[in-house]
Every structure is written in structure tokens, then in C-alpha cells.
Amino acid sequence: MSSIASGRPAGRLDIARALQPYHGPWDLRLAAHLLRRAGFGGSPADVERFSRLSPSAAVDALVGFDPEEGLADVPPGIDTSQYERLLLALNRNALSPQQVVQMLPQATQQMAMSSAAASSDVTIAAARAALSRRYLLPAMASAQRWWLGRMLLTQAPLQEKMTLFWHGHFTSEVLAKGTMPREIVAQNQLFRRYALGNVRELTRLVAQDPAMLKYLDNARSQKAHPNENFARELMELFTMGIGNYGEQDVRESARAFTGWTLRRNAFFENPATHDDGVKTFLGRRGNFDGNDIVEIIFQQPATARWFAGKLLSAFLYNDPEPELVTATANLLRKNGYELRPVMAVLLRSNVFYSNRAYRALVKSPVEFVVGAFQLYGISDVPLAALAQLARMGQTLFRPPSVKGWDGGMAWLNSQSLLTRENFASALLTSPLMPPNSWISDGMPADAKSAAARLVWMILHGDTSTASLGRLVSYLEGDETTANGAFSGENFAERIRGAAYLTMAMPAYQLC
């Protein structure tokens, strides 16, 4: 058995050249690598287009988006005002549980009734659950599909990729602690606006974000009873990491965030519950509030290293060398935590295009699914994709814990990989496949050329000659009598079979 991978590539890092701009050969393979990392893989046409640019121009095209442009698009179907009205009526006894349930569609009603002996037995809890099924779950699914659709169709793939990065970093959870779909979408828009913006400013705004205020309980933190949940995670998981602060710093910063709460669903600094006494935090003394705490945190060297490590692990490879972390941390500080120039350096760097980074990450389920849709030119995310993603281990807006998704080995287990294979198999025969996709239209009719084209389109050539030979044999039908030889009759089915086999190969699971 092989051992678990730490994620750091083998071999030695040339730190002197690591972050210098790459000037080597440029081809489809490296353009595809860039699009997988700075986006979700792109369509074959995107890869082709980027391969004709210089590496520097390709990166410019990715980092140069206008963040405001992407914000105009808002998801449909996330208005939960009817839910909130009915819930209020239920809680105030203005409507009985039966009355509420009777206002719902037949199918939802039946589910609510099935656990009750008689219709007059519908409990408040059953009515609440029925309301949630009728309004909240569809609104959540709608938000999830909307975001997946954005990833799929955006002209600014790096903006969506960074939004996903921030969602996994500054975690919050929809339908937990009363977080409504529209609130998680508003947080998502904050991440989209600051996708490549200032990290310090983003952190300050995250501390005032309604979904975050609910998720880590700061909305309930008052001078008399400070809740340490947010203050602790802010330092432990969001900015510095364990070992760079003490328990006293957690307690003192929790005092500084007291009174940061919600009023009418918006951030509100409540002077009545805010502790405006003197706090001692990371060696400084003053009447600090939350903004001061964020300022002090961003003066710590540990903070730059923390974000540097997270960015490198997400975009280059896991467990990056301390010297690479230091160099990237220096870059962050030099740029005053403005992310756009830093990401431009990383995506242009020698180390990014080196063997160390190439296919060195495991595709997340979202990268796998969105990437497959882009590969074949599918332009709509079906509802069924959400269940598939959940089985693969990733549900958007519902990270497994405040730590977000671990990535790497955590994506890999037998059930999740079988789900990926089954997803690929179903996709290739699904009615979603556009009739004019490259795989249906214009594939070469001889097995050798067809196999070569599949391996180029799906894996950008990342397979051995032996495997290519086996794909040729498969297409020719050497080992079977069931389908007969490669012919006009079974051409399409054979091609889809070979595409499925190619998508099941280990290389395709890597990013």
C-alpha cells in the first residue's frame, strides 16, 4: 500500500528562481494547466486561445477582470420572505400548524401528515420542517446551481476560483444558525468583489458579514458574556494559525468584538453591548474594537505567512517549502496585502510551470464537475449535479467544518472515486451533451487518431504510450465480440466509452 501523500512534490525547489517570471516554452499543455488552476479547466477553445498568448499575456487576461462586472448577476429563487412570514405566523400562533401545512403543495403536505396520526396532530415542528422543505431547501439548491452556473460560464474564471477559495477559507454555512440562502449569497458576493482585492479589508468586512456573525456566534456576543468562537477562529483558522497567540489574546479580542451584531438583518455595532474598556492584545494596549484587532493581526509576520501558505496550497502545491512561503509572504506585505499583483506573480512564476506544480493537486469535486461540463460545452447545471457533488464530498455553502474542505487526500476514497466515474459515464450518454460538442462532431474515424484526440482533449496528452495503445485497442474492439469492430454503426458509442475510460484515469483526477 502506498502511504498517504503529504502533498509536497519530490525533488528540490530552486528558491532563487521560483518566483521569477517563466520564459520557457509555452504550449497547449501549460495553457491547460493555467486554466485548471486559475479557473475550472475551460473549454477546448479556451485552452487553444490561451496557448496562442504569451504566458504573461495569458495571466494578464485572467487577473485583469473588473470585479464589479460579475456582481450584477443575482441568483433567482432565493427570496424566502414567504417562509419567514409563515414561520412568524406559526410562532405567534396566528396560524395553526395545520393551517400552515394546508397552504403548502400537496406533496409537502403529505410528508408532513405522514408522521401525524390525524391531520389535527400536525405539530409545530412538523409544520416548520414542511416549511423548510417547501422554501429553504429549494432556495439553497437554487443558490448552489447559480454559483455552479457562474463558474461554468463566467468570462472571469479566476474571480470564481478565488470566490471558491475564500468560501473555503472564511467559512460559513447556509441553513445553520438561521443563515438564510440570501445571506450566504451576499457573503459570496463579498468574496467575489474582493476576489483579488485587499485581504486585510476583506477580513475586516468578513467580521461584519451577517452570515459570519451568525455562523461563529458573534451576533450573540455581549459585553457581559463575550462569545469567543469568532475571535478564536479568526486567529486560529482565518489569519495566523495556532502558536502565534495565547488564550489571553482570544479572550481580549473577543471583548473587542462584543456588540458586533445584527439589526434588521444588517451589521450593527451596538454600543450598549460593546465592551469599550481597555484590552491587551498581542502586546498592545488600548480601547480596541474589531477593526483595531484586524489591524493588529495584519501587522503580525505570522499573518502574511498564513495567507501565503494557504494560497500556495490552493494554487501551486500542498505543504509548500518554508522558503517559498517566506518569499510569498514578503510579496504580500510588500503589496500591502493587495492580492491581484501577488497572484499575477504566482501564476507567472517558474515554480508554477515547473514539474513540482504540474498535476500536483487533487481536483475538488466542484473542479471535476464544472471542468467536465466546460470540456464538453454543456451550458446548464442540472439539479442532479448537486446530489452527485454531495456524494463526491463537496456541498457548496455547507463546508464540513469551520476549517473548510481539507482537499488533497480528503477527496480520495473508494466511494467518492466511484461516484466520479459513474458521473462521467452518465454525463457522456446524457441528453445534456450538446449535439455539436467536439466529441460528437468531427472526431476522426480511425481508432488511432480518435484515441490521440481524446487523450489531447481530456488529458492534454498526460498519459503513457501504453495507455494510448490500450485506448486504440478498445476503440478497435479487439477484446470483444459484443460490439464488433470499430465501425460506422457503433462509432459514437465506442468514442463515448473511450472518453469515459480516459476520464476515469488517475491523471484526470489531478489538477
Name which of residues 103 to 142 contact other proteins (CB under 8 A): 115, 123-126, 128
| Beta pairing class for 260-263 and 266-269 | antiparallel
Size, binding site for other proteins by CB under 8 A: 71
What DSSP letter does each residue of 214-282 carry, written as one string? HHTSGGG-BTTB---HHHHHIIIIIIS-TTSS-HHHHHHHHHHHTTEEEETTEEEE-TTT---S-EEET
Least distance to other proteins, CB of residue 359, Å: 4
Smaller CB distance to other proteins: residue 2 or 155? 2
What residues between 481 and 500 interact with other proteins by CB under 8 A?
A: 482-483, 497, 500
CA-CA distance, 78 to 82, in Å (whole number)? 11
* Binding to other proteins, residues 377-396 (CB under 8 A): 391, 393
Q: Among 13-21, 255-263, 325-333, 398-406, which window interacts with other proteins (CB under 8 A)? A: 398-406
- Judged by CB under 8 A, the stretch of 247-255, 258-266, 402-410, 439-447 that binds other proteins is 402-410
Asked if 468 and 447 count as a contact pair (C-beta separation under 8 A), the reply is no
* Cβ density class 313-330: b for 16+ within 10 Å, e for less: bbbbbbebbeebbebbbe
Q: Which of 113, 369, 499, 501 binds other proteins (CB under 8 A)?
A: 501
Distance CA 62, CA 42 (A): 12
- Told to check if 94 binds other proteins by CB under 8 A, we report no
34 binds other proteins (CB under 8 A): no
- Measured between alpha carbons, how far is 37 from 312 in angstroms, rounded to an integer? 11
By CB under 8 A, name the one of 326, 416, 440, 490 that touches other proteins: 416
Residue 413's contacts (CB-CB under 8 Å, 6 or more residues apart) are: none
Check residue 93 for interaction with other proteins (CB under 8 A). no
Residue span binding other proteins (CB under 8 A) among the ranges 53-61, 255-263, 355-363, 373-381: 355-363
Residue 260 gets the label, from left (phi > 0), alpha (psi -120 to 50) or beta, of beta
Beta pairing partners, 275: none
Contact between 510 and other proteins by CB under 8 A: the answer reads yes
Q: How many CA atoms lie within 13 A of 272 on its CB side?
A: 2
Site for other proteins in 434-473 (CB under 8 A): 461-464, 466-467, 470-471, 473
Cβ atoms 230, 250 nearer than 8 A: no
**Choice between 199 and 316, CB closer to other proteins:** 316
Question: Among residues 130, 199, 235, 360, which is the contact residue for other proteins, using CB under 8 A?
Answer: 360
Indicate whether 358 belongs to the interface with other proteins (CB under 8 A): yes
- Cβ-in-10-Å burial (0-12, 13-18, 19+) of 505 comes to middle
Spatial separation of the C-alpha atoms in residues 170 and 397, rounded to whole Å: 11
**CB closer to other proteins, 1 vs 272:** 1
Contact 76, 146 (CB under 8 A): yes
Question: Long-range pairs for 277-282 at CB < 8 Å and ≥24 separation?
Answer: 279/252, 279/253, 279/255, 280/248, 280/252, 281/249, 281/252, 281/253, 281/256, 282/245, 282/249
Select the residue interacting with other proteins from 426, 449, 487, 492 (CB under 8 A). 426
Is 102 a binding residue for other proteins by CB under 8 A? The answer is: no
Q: Minimum distance from CB of 485 to other proteins (Å)?
A: 12
Distance between CA atoms of 373 and 41, rounded to whole angstroms?
A: 10
CB-wise, 383 or 410, nearer to other proteins? Answer: 410
Which of 325, 362, 370, 457 touches other proteins (CB under 8 A)?
362
Residue closest to 382 by CA, chosen among 148, 68, 96: 148
Piece in contact with other proteins (CB under 8 A), picked from 154-162, 301-309, 415-423, 431-439 = 415-423
Per-residue DSSP letter, 313: H
- Residue numbers 304-343 binding other proteins by CB under 8 A: 317-318
Nearer CB in complex with other proteins: 103/417? 417
State in angstroms the smallest separation of the CB of 195 from other proteins.
Answer: 27
By beta-carbon proximity to other proteins, the closer residue of 345 and 451 is: 451
Residue 355 interacts with other proteins (CB under 8 A): yes or no: yes
404 binds other proteins, rule: CB under 8 A: no
Min dist CB 269 to other proteins, Å, is 26
Could you tell me if 241 and 303 are in contact, meaning their C-beta atoms sit under 8 angstroms apart? Answer: no
Closest to other proteins by CB, 330 vs 490, is 490
* Torsion, Cα of 439, 443, 445, 449 (10° steps): -100
The binder of other proteins chosen from 168, 226, 365, 408 (CB under 8 A)? 408
